Every structure is written in structure tokens, then in C-alpha cells.
Amino acid sequence: MKSEQSSPPERSPRILVIDDEEQIRRALRSILQARHYTVDLAATGAAGLEAAVDTTPDLIVLDLSLPDMSGLVVCEQLRAWYEGPIVVLSVRDADADKIAALDLGADDYLTKPFSAGELLARIRAHLRRISGAELSVREIKAGDLMIDLAKRVVTVKGQPVHLTRTEFDILAELARNADRVVTSHALLNSVWGPDYVSDTQTLRVHVSHLRQKIEPQGGVSRYILTEPGVGFRFAGDPDIPA
Amino acid sequence: MAAATALLLPFRAHLHPAQAMLIFVPVIVAIGRLAGVRASAVGAVLAFLAADFVFVPPYYHLTVASPADWITLLVFLLVALSSGLQTGAIRQRERAAVQREREIALLSRLSSRLVSEESIEEMATFIVGEVAAVLGADRAVVFVRAPGDRAALMAQAGGVSCGVAEGAFADWVMRNDKAVGLPLTDDPSIGPHPVSVLVDEALPGIVADGVYLPLQTGECLEGVLYARPLSGVESSPERVRHLIAVANLAAAFLERRRLEDEAAQAAALQESDRLKATLVSSVSHELKTPLAAVTARITGLLDEGETCTPDRVREELEAATEDLHRLDSSIGDLVDVSRLESDAWRPVPDMWDIGELLGTVASRIPVASKRRVRFEVAEGLPSVWVDFRQVVRALSTMVDNALTYAPGADIVVGARALGTDLLVWVEDRGPGVPDEEKQRVFEKFYRGTTSAASSSGTGLGLAIVREIARAHGGRVWVEDAEPRGARFVLSLPLQGVSP
């Protein structure tokens, strides 16, 4: 099988997997080790919390259904001191848990069953973000859309698009976090500041205007996808109709 | 009577004894009118004595001096008694007529409720209330049949419960199918009713008053009606007859409810048996097929070992991934259909633009098929009040279906407003759906007969779409597309409905 990533990172990032199911742990270990990540495994919430202290991982993959304690509690306790990314895994249809986990400080979620490609893409995106590599990114390109973060200019198919300051900030925040969920809470916090985090209706109006300006004709959102009850996800590789 | 005597006393000198007696008569009539037969008879005798004692010389003696006064007195007694009794009887008849009217009104109220949809408890409460109010029972209780031929208290009115004894008698009636405590009578109007036994015969040693009537229909004992005592016109046969009529109506109501419940249960059981059987065969087929395919591919690769080229490994693994996707969507169908049917997945609506709903639908189209799907959405559509996940689930199913049943051909997803509804449709250029199947395709486990692809899938997808449409107060249907193919249309009210 072809390897997805060519050059291994300088220091291999350390990932802690907390999942009670042996099959999932084994699968994740072999997938991650094949990409030169250092992998620690924990089968319970308590063991996971302990391992997190011992190994200080760069990223934690946390299953929400654990035998000894709720994954939500684990997430909350980790967030008391741990600042690295937490990606939660949940089964289909446990939307409420997913949303609760994001509220408690998880950075992203994946629904089982997921493909290795999806998981690795999320992990890479989060590690890139904390490495600060994104801060130096000047341009983000997705489909026909080009965002110049330094000049605060957006073009669609080479044509400049006029965005308000707020619309640009929203788009930039979403695009910097391409392919992962940005909660309404986080988006409001980063664009308006901590005093406005509950004003989701205002946010939706701005996103709606933003979509009208950047989305392709045909009334179907391609760049900014809605995650109901959670927030939005920017499609890093959108499928734009010809 | 004393008042009348005292009133007349000062005029004794001016009155002939017969005149005084004449004045007593209307007083006695009034007593009969107000207080009934017995009181008027007593009044008449008292008037007779008072007349003799006070107005007939010698005064203050019961002896009578003149034989003529004797005759006057006796005639007065006769007149007083007969007029008093007469008016008393008239009063009694009037009251009985009013009571009968009330009782008949009760029966008519009761019978009009027989076909109502109210619960057994509501009906029982109504019955005990009416028996207490109209038939004058101090206490009334309805028991219904409980498992093990026991009588379970359903509703009670008035009085203090003598719990154990009432329960014991009701149980006895339930087991023996005989009334307890009905007055023994030859009155044919009371029949047909179950044989009555004396209280003592039922449960010797236990004291109980009142009447326990079995609530019986042709075949089955539905419960017991207890009333204590039947007061008023002294438990006339008529009143007993009315109580029995109430019991018969109550029994008819209980029987109807029982038969309805049994029929509904039987139907539900039959339907669930059929669905279970289909479910089991569908589940085992749909889950096992992809599993078997994956197992075969992977063990095949293992078996080939080192002779296997990397390209071939990749090809097999990609095919296995597709099988696993199919497995996942089958599991998803099963989970969703059971959540929807058990009402565990109620819509949580919010205001959404159709563009964001379709954006998510588009993002879920398998990569290999993305180029086949074209969107034609009218500009400026109003927002819809729907559950995002459910509607995306429904539309994704419609798109997947079109991709499967019209292989190779392009698919158009469109949306527009029509009146107060939003229409979203998925149109394909496949073989279409014959008229006779246009309804049936939305049934669970129904698979079209025309397409080669008809054997794939759980046969639950469109049933899920229909359930979601219903939950939103909308609907889904299929029509012929031009020049050929099928167009599945989901119609949702723009304003939404409160779930």
C-alpha cells in the first residue's frame, strides 16, 4: 500500500488513544505507527487520564463510550490542564454526546466507522495548527476560492469578492481550520470576542450573507458546510460543479 | 297541629266544634303535601285527639258529652285521614315520577357514552358518580376484571371504604358469577339478571350491606358494580331495575373496550410477526452478504501471499471498503427505522436554508458518483423549519436510490417553493417506477421489480424517507420524469408543524 505521507516529521508526535475496544485500539495503533507517530494506548478513562499525565501527548483520540466513566467526564478532566487537541470518537446517532464533548473543550469529532484517511487528515490538521505553522500561512486555496489572509482579499475564480470585515474574519477562521468543525461558540469567540459567544443567530445571518457571496451558483453550499447544533465546517477540498 | 290548636283556642267560645275541625282539614292536607303519607296520618290522629280534647265539651277531657259530637268527631277523623293520605300519596307519586325521570336520564347519558373513546377509568368514575347521585347510594364502586379472576377497584364514590370486605365480596362475585344482596323478588321486571344470593351465603361471617352486581355480557364477566344502600323510595323494584340496567350498560362498555384491545393487540402482533420475519431475513441477508464478500477478498489476498501484485492488493481492498460502506448503510437503515418507529427520533426543527441542507447532502455523495449529480435550485427560496439531520437523511437516501436504480445516468436534484410548501426532488433517467408500484415502493422491505439493482439494499430506505416526511407534516411521492425515469418528490411545509 502506498504511504500517504512521504517525509516523517522531525520529532515523531505522540498520540494517546483512549478506547475500550481492543479492535479499535489495535487498528489505530497500526495505522498511526505506520505514519511514524508514537502511540500510547489506554482502555479505560482512568488509565487514559493517568497516561495523559505520564506521556503528555501532542494529541489525544478519545472514545466517548468508556466502561468506567463517561468520555465526556474524561474530556472535561483533561481540559482542566491539557491544552493539546482532543479528537473524540463516537458511534452514529450520538449527536448529543458529540455536541456536549465539543462544548467541554474537545476540538473535533469523528463518527465510527471512519476511514483511516479521514482520521489522519484531522490529526495532521490539528498538529499543524498547534505547531503554529498556520500562523505563517498567507494564502488558503480551496476550489475556486482564494483567501489572502495577509492582504485580507478574497477572490472567486480570480474575481475579487467584497466581504465585510466580519464576513472575512468568519471565513478566515473557518478556512484556517479547514476540514474540521468550528463550533459556533469558538467562532463567535474568535470573531466578536468572549462577550458574544451566545449570539448564534447573528452568526448565522453573517454566514448566510457570506455564502451568498462566495458559494457557486445553484444555491448549494460547497465551501461552508453546516453542522447542525454544532457550528460549521470549511471544506478544504470542495467539489465545485464545472 | 299544636300551633293550629293554640291559634283557634281563643275563639273557642265563638266556634262550633265542627267549624274548628273543618279548619284542621287544610292543615292536614298541607302536612300530607309537605311531609308525606305517614306524617299526614299522624297529623290526622293528632287533630282528632286535639279536637276531642280542646273543642268538644267537656273541655280537657277525652270523654264526649253529646252523641252528636261523637258522630261529628268520627266523621272528622275519616275526612282528615282520607284527605291527608290522598295528598300524601299524590306527593309520593310525583316524587317517584321525578326520580324515574332522573334515572332514565342517567341511563340515556350512560348509553350515549357507550361508544365513546374515553378510558375505562373515566367511564368507571362517571358510573360511580351517577349511581351515588341519581340512585341515592352512599357508596358506589366499580371493580374490573384483573388477572387471576380477581376484581380490581377502578373507581369509587362516596362513603368510607370497608376495603377488605368490599374486595372480598367483589372477588366472590367475580368467581361465582352471582349477584350478592339483591332483594329476593318474583318481579319479572328485574330479570334477566344473575342469580342473587344472600350476603350470608356468599361469605359467611363477613358483614356487608349493599348490592354487588356482576357486570356481565354474554360470555364474560367484565367486573363488579357495588352500591350501598339503594336509598330513596325504599329500594323499589324499579330502582333495582335501574341499577341492573346501569350494570348492563357498564358491562357492554367494558366488553367493547376489551374486544377492541384484543383486536388491536392481535393485529399489532400479526403485523410485528410479519415484519420481524421479513426483518430477520433482510437483516441476515444484508449484513451477511457484504461480510461474506469482505471475508472472501481478504482471505483471498492472504492465500495469494507474495504472488500478489500491489495493484491487485489495492483493487481488492478498495472493493472490500465498498462492501463495508454497504454494511454500514444497512446498519444505519435498521437503526433509523427502529428509532423512527419507536418514536425515539422526533424531529427537532430549526430554521434552515435549503442551500445548507443540500450542501451537506452533496458532501455525502460518494466521490465516485459526485460528477453524476447536478443541482438545480431556484434562487431566493425561503428558509424551512425542519430537523436538519432528518431531512438530510431523507434527501441523501433519495439521491443514493437514484444513483443505484439508474446506474450510469445523470441525476438532477432540484428545489422550489409551491404555495406553502417547499418541494425538493431527485430525478433520474433510469427505468422509472410502474404505476402499480408507485405507492408500494415506500413500504418497508418492498423492492422494485423492474431494475437489476432491485436486490440490493435493505428495502427500508424509502420507508425511512416517508416516516421523516410524515414527522414533518409533509409527504413524499414518485412520479414519471420526462422523457423517462423517475422523479421522487419530498414536500415539506415552509412554516413547519409543531412536532
Are A100 and A150 found together in one domain? no
A167, A94: one domain: no
> Quick one: pLDDT at residue A78?
94
Query: Could you tell me if B314 and B398 lie in one domain?
Result: no
Rounded Cα–Cα distance for residues A231 and A109 (Å): 12
- Mean pLDDT computed over every residue of chain A: 87
Distance from CA of A215 to the nearest CA of B (A): 10
Provide the grid cell at A141: 486555496
Please check whether residues B355 and B337 belong to one and the same domain: no
pLDDT by residue (tens digit) across A129-161?
888 766 677 889 999 999 999 899 999 999 999
User: Are residues B355 and B469 located together in one domain of the fold?
Assistant: yes
The strand ranges marked E within A159-217 are 159-161, 181-183
Q: Do B119 and B238 fall within a single domain? A: yes
| Averaged pLDDT for residues A101-114 | 86
d(CA B406, CA B490): 19
| Structure confidence at residue A5 (pLDDT) | 46
What 3-state class would DSSP assign to B459?
coil
Q: Do B339 and A115 lie within an 8 Å CB cutoff?
A: no
The answer to whether residue B315 neighbours chain A at the CB level (below 8 Å) is no
Instruction: Write the residue in A115, A220, A228 that is nearest to B355 by C-beta.
Output: A220
Q: Do B362 and A239 touch (CB under 8 A)?
A: yes
Whole-number percent of chain A with pLDDT over 70: 92
Average pLDDT over residues A178-204: 86
State how far the alpha carbon of A192 is from the alpha carbons of A196, A197, B274, in Å.
Answer: 6, 8, 57
Q: Which residues of chain B does A224 touch, with a Cβ-Cβ cutoff of 8 Å?
A: 359
In this structure, the answer to whether residues A127 and A191 fall within a common structural domain is: no
Which residue carries 336509598 as its cell? Answer: B231
In a domain, B306, yes or no: yes
Across the interface, whether the CB atoms of B321 and A115 are under 8 A apart is answered yes
Residues 399 to 428 of B: which have CB under 8 A from any A CB? Answer: 415
Q: How far is A221 from chain B (nearest CA, A)?
A: 4
Residues 6+ apart with CB under 8 A from A73: A45
Shared domain for A39 and A126, answered yes or no, is yes
Nearest CA-CA distance, residue B321 and chain A, Å: 9
The whole domain housing B228 covers: 114-258
Confidence of residue A2 (pLDDT cuts 50, 70, 90): very low
Same domain, B29 and B45: yes
- What Rg value do the Cα atoms of chain A yield, rounded? 19
Start-to-end CA distance of chain B, whole Å, equals 75
Q: Is A115 helix (H, G, I), strand (E, B) or coil?
A: coil
- Residue of A221, A232, A237, A240 to mutate, interface with B, max B Cβ within 10 Å: A221
| Residue A22, C-alpha cell as written in the block | 481492543
**Would B386 be classed as within a structural domain?**
yes
Closest to A124 (Cα-Cα) out of A59, A34, A209, A220: A59
Specify whether the CB–CB gap between A191 and A173 falls below 8 A.
yes
Q: What is the CATH number of the domain that holds A102?
A: 3.40.50.2300
Quote the minimal CA–CA distance from B389 to chain A in Å: 7
Residues of B whose CB is below 8 A from A228: 350, 352, 388-389
Nearest CB neighbour to A239, from listed B357, B358, B370: B370
For residue B426, the chain A residues in CB contact (below 8 A) are: none
Q: Average pLDDT, stretch A57-85?
A: 92
Q: B374, A241: Cβ pair inside 8 Å?
A: yes
For residue A211, the chain B residues in CB contact (below 8 A) are: 353, 355-356
- Cell readout for B394 is 431523507
The pLDDT mean for chain B works out to 81
B356 near A CB under 8 A: yes
Picking from A112, A133, A154, the residue at the C-terminal end of a domain is A133
Inter-chain contact B377–A113, Cβ cutoff 8 Å? Answer: no
Chain B nearest CA to A148, separation (Å)? 24
To test the contact with chain A by mutation, choose from B291, B313, B356, B464 the residue with the greatest count of A C-beta atoms within 10 A, namely: B356
Q: How far is B163 from chain A (nearest CA, A)?
A: 50
- Is A226–B379 a contact, with Cβ atoms under 8 angstroms apart? no
Own/partner contacts of A185-189, CB < 8 Å, gap of 24 or more, are: A185/A102, A185/A103, A185/A231, A186/A231, A187/A231, A187/A232
Number of structural domains in chain A: 2
| Chain B residues touching A220 at Cβ < 8 A | 355, 358-359, 362, 375, 377
Count of residues for chain A?
A: 242
Of residues B70 and A72, the one with the higher pLDDT is A72
**Nearest chain A CA: its distance from B332 CA (Å):** 8
- What pLDDT is stored for residue A31 in this prediction? 93
Point out the residues of chain B with pLDDT beneath 70.
1-2, 4, 159-163, 183-208, 229-236, 448-456, 496-499
Global ipTM: 0.82
Nearest-Cα residue of chain A relative to residue B372: A241
Question: Residue B285 has what DSSP assignment?
Answer: H
Q: Please provide the size of chain B in residues.
A: 499
Q: Which residues of A touch B324 (CB under 8 A)?
A: 113
Cβ of B377 within 8 Å of Cβ of A241? The answer is no
Q: Distance, in angstroms, between B443 CA and closest chain A CA?
A: 24
**What total of structural domains would you count in chain B?**
4
Q: Is B301 on the interface with A (CB under 8 A)?
A: no
Calculate mean pLDDT across residues A15-35: 93
pLDDT of residue B17: 72
d(CA A175, CA A171): 6
B298 touches chain A (CB under 8 A): no
Say what the pLDDT of residue A84 is. Answer: 92
Q: State whether residue A33 is helix, strand or coil.
A: helix
**Residue B250 and residue B120 in one domain:** yes
Test B359 with A220 for CB contact under 8 angstroms. Answer: yes
Q: Is residue B445 part of a domain?
A: yes
Model pLDDT, residue A7: 47
Q: B341, B376, B402: which is the final residue of a domain?
A: B341
Domain range for A67: 14-133
B119 in the same domain as B253:
yes
Within this chain, do residues A148 and A50 fall inside the same structural domain, yes or no?
A: no
pLDDT at position B235: 57
Do A188 and A109 lie in one domain? The reply is: no
Contact flag A221-B328 (C-beta cutoff 8 Å): no
Q: Quick check: is A6 in a domain?
A: no
Whether residue A3 is contained in a domain is answered as: no
pLDDT (0 to 100) of residue B233: 43
Cell numbers placing A221: 453550499
Q: Do B363 and A225 touch (CB under 8 A)?
A: yes
B357 shares its domain with B478:
yes
Q: Which of A181, A220, A188 is nearest to A205 (CA)?
A: A188
State the pLDDT at residue A25.
92
**A123 and A145 share a domain?**
no
Q: How far is A56 from chain B (nearest CA, A)?
A: 34
B241 and B333 fall within a common domain:
no
Residues of chain A with Cβ-Cβ distance to B350 below 8 Å are 228
Degrees (nearest 5) of the Cα angle B62, B64, B69? 130
Q: Flag if A218 and B375 touch (Cβ within 8 Å).
A: yes
Which segment, A27-36, A215-224, B324-333, is predicted with the most confidence on average? A27-36
Q: Chain A contacts of B291, Cβ < 8 Å?
A: none
Contact of B366 with chain A, judged by CB distance below 8 Å, is answered with no
Is pLDDT of A179 > 90?
A: no
CA angle A227, B463, B449 (to 5 degrees): 125
Q: Are residues A92 and A200 in the same domain?
A: no
- Inter-chain contact A228–B379, Cβ cutoff 8 Å? no
Residues A115 and A157 in one domain: no
Residue A36 falls within a domain, yes or no? Answer: yes
Q: Is B389 on the interface with A (CB under 8 A)?
A: yes
Give the percent of chain B with pLDDT over 70.
Answer: 88
Does residue A9 form part of some domain? no
Q: Give which of A114, A212, A226 to mutate to test B binding, by max B Cβ within 10 Å.
A: A226
Contact criterion met (CB < 8 Å) for A225 and B339: no
